[in-house]
Amino acid sequence: MNNANNISCVDIVCGLAWGDEAKGKITSELVQKGTYDFVCRWAGGNNAGHTIYVDEKRYKTHIVPCGVFHNIPSIIGPGCVVHPESFIQEIQYLYENGFDTSYVKISPRAHVITEQHIQYDCNNLYSSIGTTRKGISACYADKALKKGQLCKDEPSLQEFIWDEILFGAVLCEGAQGFWLDLDKGNYPYNTSSTTIPYGACSLGFPPQKIRHLYGATKIYDTRSGNDPDFPEQLLDDLTLSKIVFLGKEYGVTTGRKRKVNWMNLNKLIHAIQVSGTTRVIVSKVDILQQLNLLKLYEGKILHTFDTYEQMKSYIIYVIRSKCPMVEKITFSSSPHNI
């Protein structure tokens, strides 16, 4: 079993919004610069979609953590759910692209997503909730009902089972985002796992080991799936549609057009405070700059700024005054790196 004393530090990347905040970009940049011994996923399954650039080439993953691109052990944690067939397909894809997939490991306690879970999701939840149809909630439900199937008992996953040992420096890669969390999200429109960073401790370390908490967001909000907080009319808004097109706001996993709205600053502040984020990364600022659409909501007030610099200064000012634990705020316009 894991001896937590052998872990020197843990950095965490989490989403501060509704997923799709460029966590993949941030994690892969940290992996390249840092000296991590492990890269771990702590929650969710192949409902996630990470876009990763390695040597200018674009890769898409759904369940495998991005350490595999840099020969770092990549752990799918006990809080994750795995669809064996999709996992093996992803392994095949990585192998064919020249990556050493022996670095990928799955917790023996992660749960298996079965065809019945997927059927349940497609037949009962997709039309009302707008799920990703990956069987996520049914799998977590069976886990809680003690009817679940563990990855350690699934023959096709045997060679990938993790010995549950962590040591050195650990990077945890979040999936989904703060407002999709099972407890904090807009129930029942949220996902079924703990997306907030404290969930990462399920990998086997105490909260005291956490060093940096990177919180990812975009300069505008997006939502894939149904949510009364993101009414369908947003899809018909001609101004917001410009952001959908220029920002390429289509789901990596589902291909669906995402609903776009102006940044909700109060929600962002709450997510920073509750997640414990110490380093904020605001991505895709070039999209609003190019369109010269410089707006954000603070409560019900819609602020409009004359220049991008003014908007940026205002965001920095509000974060600094309300979130004293934030050490660093970075604005990024690159799809590849920060």
Cα distances (Å, whole numbers) of residue 239 to 244, 292, 300: 9, 11, 19
DSSP 20: -
Q: Does position 21 bind Mg ion by CB under 5 A?
A: no
> Do 277 and 214 meet the contact criterion of CB atoms below 8 Å apart?
yes
Of residues 10, 13, 15, 20, which one binds Mg ion by CB under 5 A? 20
Question: Cβ of residue 76: shortest distance to ligand IMP, in angstroms?
Answer: 15
Among 134, 218, 259, 267, binds ligand IMP (CB under 6 A): 134
Query: Which of the choices ligand IMP, Mg ion, none does residue 73 contact, using the CB cut-off of 5 to 8 A by kind?
Result: none
Given candidates 15, 44, 45, 49, which one binds Mg ion under the rule CB under 5 A?
Answer: 49
Residue type, 245: F
Asked about 229 being catalytic, the answer comes back as no
Please confirm, yes or no, whether 50 is among the known catalytic residues.
yes
CA distances to 26, 70, 216 from 35, rounded to whole Å, are 15, 11, 21
Give the DSSP letter string of 55-109.
TTEEEEESSS-GGGGGT--EEE-TTBEE-HHHHHHHHHHHHHTT--GGGEEE-TT
Residues 178-217 binding ligand IMP (CB under 6 A) are 180, 189, 191-192
Interaction pattern, residues 225-254, with ligand IMP; x per rule: CB under 6 A: x-----------------------------
CB-nearer residue toward ligand IMP: 137 or 202: 137
What is the amino acid identity at position 164? Answer: E
Nearer to ligand IMP, 38 or 140 (CB): 140
To the nearest whole angstrom, how small is the minimum distance from the Cβ of residue 294 to Mg ion? 25
Closest CA to 150 of 100, 93, 76, 220: 76
Half-sphere exposure of residue 62: CA atoms within 13 angstroms, side-chain side: 22
Instruction: Give me the residue label for tokens 């996520």.
Output: 136
Q: Pairing between strand 57-61 and 74-76?
A: unpaired
- Answer yes or no whether residue 137 interacts with ligand IMP by CB under 6 A: yes
| 48 near ligand IMP, rule: CB under 6 A | yes
Residue from 7, 12, 13, 19 in contact with ligand IMP (CB under 6 A): 19
Rounded CA-CA distance 9/3 in Å is 13
* Binding of residue 176 to ligand IMP (CB under 6 A): yes
Residue with the closest Cβ to Mg ion? 49
Q: Among 132, 134, 82, which residue's Cα sits nearest to residue 104?
A: 82
Q: What secondary structure letter does DSSP report for 161?
A: B
Alpha helix stretches (DSSP H) within the chain? 23-33, 84-96, 115-120, 126-129, 136-144, 238-246, 265-275, 285-291, 308-322
Q: Which stretch binds Mg ion (CB under 5 A): 18-26, 188-196, 260-268, 293-301?
A: 18-26
Options 14-22, 30-38, 65-73, 82-90: segment touching ligand IMP (CB under 6 A): 14-22
Q: Which stretch binds ligand IMP (CB under 6 A): 13-21, 82-90, 152-160, 272-280?
A: 13-21
Site size with ligand IMP, rule: CB under 6 A: 21
Residue nearest to ligand IMP (CB): 225
Contacts with Mg ion, residue ranges (CB under 5 A): 20, 49
Contacts with ligand IMP, residue ranges (CB under 6 A): 18-20, 47-49, 129-132, 134, 136-137, 175-176, 180, 189, 191-192, 224-225
Residues involved in catalysis: 20, 50
